[in-house]
Amino acid sequence: MKTRIIAIVLLLLGAAVGYFDGASFLAPDSVLAKFPFRLGLDLRGGTHLVYRADISRLPAIEVNDAMDGLRDVIERRVNLFGVTEPLVQVESHQNEKRLVVELAGVTDVKEAIKMIGATPYLEFKTERPKEEQDALIENNKKEGAHIEDPYYAPSGLTGRFLKKSSVDFNQTTFEPTILLEFNAEGADIFAKLTRENVGKRLAIYLDGVPISTPVVREEITGGNAQISGTFTPDEAKTLARNLNAGALPIPIELISQQSVGASLGNEALARGILAGIYGIILLAVFLMLWYRILGVAAVLALGVYMAIVLALFKLIPVTLTAAGIAGFLLSIGVAVDANILVFERFKEEARSGKTLEFSLQEGFRRGWTSIRDSNISSLITAVVLYWFSTSMVKGFALTLGVGIIVSLFSALVVTKTFIAALGVKRVGPTASFLFGSGFKNIPQESHEHN
């Protein structure tokens, strides 16, 4: 009786979770509909941007850290504009470092570029000695172009070290100023710069343009600086907000842009779902025809399995792509395979004359070893693919990995509970047929296992 109650609870739980999965379609105005599936760029449509990073001034040892910082800044920036699950990744191309940005649901390319490009590049520069200035001015004249800034030299202090910024007002002129607070590393660099440049100018550049060139009066410790200029209050607030969103640690240049149409994404999604539905129906029919009552239990367990996995995709959340859907469908096959292994072991025991109850227990016990080994090997493959591959393959690996983990619970707990809930102890003519498989029934007369 207890087992049957547990089986009913599992079925009701599966139905409730399934309702949660389909809430966006079944009850679009409900609270549950606030947890939609997140669709990737290939299914939802959006914008694909590629930027080239200027790493020419960075020591080789700092390039990777700078690119990681750049990626984090861009992710934070687009999240502030309401873009969920942006894909921002660093790629190496020959001797270049590139940043690939995919914004699902953002089909306005100009707006997408504005989101990223509005983030300012903040840099502090120190005043060059007079003789060095003269030499660089002459060199620029010879080259016929502005090759290098003759007046100020890069100091290494950029927005990469910025902790936060805020707006203040000068108590005398009432003009807006921007207060900067650096992190611990930036504070040390700023203190060193001001200590070594007392009486000289320390220029503050924003997007390559000097906006303030104050004279250093004394060493400044504590990691605080101030930008003053001809800002309006709105301009100062916007600049402070953008700096807080993340000043770019290194300059970037847009080299490629592409808009992915939503119609293509909807078509791919519809075909993927339709193929999945057809496959699941055929699979369910095969299980019920070949394994009879055990197949029915497996189909019910498979329904609970799919409901749980889809709910996890919403809650984690997982950004679904076409490759991700393929991984989910493959994981369904893994879940079914676990059931088939158990059923085949049960069939071997039952046809050798063991009791029904003993055969079922042995089927799950003997099947567990094969299920464990095959699932662990598949899980290792999924982890390796996720860790070392590109974004598209990562979606496949993540959905496959989640599915494999849940399939163990489905096969060894849910299916076993549903079969045990049948409560069949002795094998009569009906049980002989229902627990048979293929073209054979199990023996009606079974002796106790010794």
Cα–Cα distance measured from residue 254 to residue 50, given in angstroms and rounded to the nearest whole number: 6
What pLDDT sits at residue 196? Answer: 93
Q: What is the rounded end-to-end Cα distance, in angstroms, of the chain?
A: 27
What pLDDT sits at residue 305? Answer: 92
Q: Give φ, ψ of 249 to 5 degrees.
A: -70, -25
Collect the ranges in the chain with pLDDT lower than 70. 79-85, 107, 117-120, 145-147, 229, 242-243, 245-247, 261-266, 268-269, 389-392, 445-450
DSSP string, 166-196: EEEE-TTT--EEEEEEE-HHHHHHHHHHHHH
Contacts of 289 (CB under 8 A, 6+ apart): 295
Complete domains list, the chain, with CATH? 2-38+263-434 (1.20.1640.10), 46-259 (3.30.1360.200)
Rounded to two decimals, what is the model's pTM?
0.62
Identify the CA nearest to 37 among candidates 277, 262, 261, 325.
325
Sign of CA dihedral 305, 311, 316, 317: positive
